[in-house]
Amino acid sequence: MIKMSARTDCSAKESAAIRGGAIILALVTVSFFIMILGHNPFSVYGSMIEGAFGTVYRITETLRKSIPLIVASLGISLAFRLKFWNIGAEGQIMMGAMGATFCALNFPDLTSWLLLPMMGAASIICGGIWGAIPAYFRAKWRTNETIFTLMMNYVALKWLTYLQYGPWKDPAALGFPKIPGFSPNAVLPNVFGLHAGWIIAIVLVVIVHLFINHTQRGYEISVVGGSENTGRYAGMNVKAVIIYTIFLSGGLCGLCGMIEASGVNRTLSVGITMGAGYTAIITSWLSSLKAPVIPAVCVLFAAMIQGGTFIQMAFQIPQSAAQILQGTILFFVLGSEFFIRYRVSFIKNIKAEGEK
């Protein structure tokens, strides 16, 4: 029979190997799918890599797509550490972008050095509040945060639609429903060919890493995430920990919205997130919620998205194939975690085991 027992001795190397194996298995599984569609999986994967990293321009595009994922994943990882299932990143990104846009549209002549930090602050506050509302009710009455945060995504989406088609509609666009473009002062400058969001992302990775591992506040998150009761007995204000952590989580997602609005779109539209809020859930989980790992996983996922657009042109395989690939990878990694936590051994029969 099969015997399973808990294990605690799984080294970092071993668990990395198990995860890597899972990713390879996922790629193999999707290969079969590609073959059914009548394509050669090697050439499809090959051109995905080429599409993502083949030229300097494509590398820049891949990195550009990884920035929102990194920032949003950092935010989500804070919430998930607390076992607060924040799937509201999508809405928090939108509200953050809205806050930044509000500043950009109202103070277009302000110098960049003042305007950009102001937009950043507004985005953090708007995204943070959007996250803190469900957090408040979760802390007060244990209201289910998963569905609450998700519903907030739809409310944010409808709100942006309202703004875009109503009060914020560009009068110069001849009735076309779009929000006016930003003045140059409200646009993030380019640094080495890529908007400065990449610098913000790297700085945030370092800050979040230090915050989690080297500050008291960060430590409290780990404790309360492990067990709320432990936190309470240790004299922590559990409710406050939940609310401010999720404010930070939503604030980071909000900042992600500001970076996208200012650095990439130079305006606000309902499609601002490009689904980053959902993809970032996968990437932060795959990074085991560890800030230093997040950039690597996000670049990998951005490469899949970028490569996905490329194979659409080359093979007429729909772009959503990338989404299926991402989902499959996470399925396999989730499944593989079992082998990190448990040892599976085959034994002949129970009696033989007892006689040893």
Partner 1 sequence: MDISFFTAAVVAGTPLLFAILGELITEKAGQLNLGVEGMMLMGAVVGFKTALMTGNPFLALAGAMLAGALGAMIFGVLTVSLRANQVVAGLTLTIFGTGFSSFMGQGLMGEVVPESMKLFFADFKIPLLGDIPVIGQIFFNQGMLVYTGYFAAIIAGLYIYRTSIGLNLRSVGENTAAADAAGIKVSRYKYIHILIGGLLCGLAGAYLSLVYIPSWQENVTAGRGWIAVALVIFCRWNPYRVLAGAFLFGGLDIIGFRIQKYDFHVSQYMIDMLPYLVTIIILILVSARRTSAGSPPASLGESYFREER
Among 147, 191, 210, 313, binds partner 1 (CB under 8 A): 147
Using rule CB under 8 A, residue 300 touches partner 1: no
Which residue in 26, 63, 72, 87 binds partner 1 (CB under 8 A)?
A: 87
- The β-bridge relationship of strands 190-191 and 2-6 is unpaired
Helices (H), the chain: 12-36, 41-53, 56-81, 89-106, 112-141, 145-165, 197-214, 216-226, 228-233, 238-259, 276-286, 294-315, 321-341, 350-355
Question: Is residue 271 a contact point for partner 1 (CB under 8 A)?
Answer: no
Q: Does 159 bind partner 1 (CB under 8 A)?
A: yes
Tell me the closest approach of the beta carbon of residue 66 to partner 1, in angstroms. 18
Distance CA 126, CA 91 (A): 10
Binding residues for partner 1, total number by CB under 8 A: 46
Phi/psi at 324 (nearest 5 deg)? -65, -45
Q: Nearest distance from residue 212's CB to partner 1, in Å?
A: 19
Smallest distance, partner 1 to C-beta of residue 37, A: 10
| CB-based burial, 100-135: b 16+ in 10 Å, e otherwise | bbbbbbebeebeeeebbebbbbbbbbbbbbbbbbbb
Task: Report in angstroms how near the CB of residue 354 gets to partner 1 at its nearest.
Answer: 16
Torsion of CA 93, 96, 100, 101, to 10 degrees: 60
Please list the residues that pair with 345 across neighbouring strands. Answer: 3
Does the footprint of partner 1 cover residue 328 (CB under 8 A)? yes
| Position 139 contacts partner 1 (CB under 8 A) | no
> Are the beta carbons of 98 and 268 closer than 8 angstroms?
yes
Q: Does 84 bind partner 1 (CB under 8 A)?
A: no
46, 158, 184, 202: residue in contact with partner 1 (rule CB under 8 A): 158
Contacts of 29 (CB under 8 A, 6+ apart): 328, 332
DSSP classification of residue 172: G
- Rounded CA-CA distance 287/16 in Å is 11
Q: Please report how close the Cβ of residue 157 comes to partner 1 at its closest, in angstroms.
A: 9
Instruction: State which residue, 51 or 277, has the beta carbon closest to partner 1.
Output: 277
Among 59, 155, 199, 296, binds partner 1 (CB under 8 A): 155
Q: Is residue 7 near partner 1 by the rule CB under 8 A? A: no
* Binding of partner 1 by 101 (CB under 8 A): no
**Neighbouring residues of 287: CB distance < 8 A, sequence distance ≥ 6:** 73, 77, 293, 294, 296, 297
Q: Which residues pair with 346 in a beta bridge?
A: 2
Residue number, 116 or 303, with CB nearest to partner 1: 303
Segment lying near partner 1 (by CB under 8 A), choices 16-24, 51-59, 139-147, 214-222: 139-147
**What x/- string results for residues 40 through 79 when contact with partner 1 is judged by CB under 8 A?**
----------------------------------------
Q: Tell me which residues in 10-29 interact with partner 1 (CB under 8 A).
A: none
Distance of CA 72 to the CA centre of its chain: 4
Residues that bind partner 1 (CB under 8 A): 4-6, 85, 87, 137, 141-144, 146-148, 150-152, 154-155, 158-159, 161-162, 165-166, 278-279, 281-282, 285, 318, 320-324, 326-328, 330-331, 334-335, 337-338, 341-342
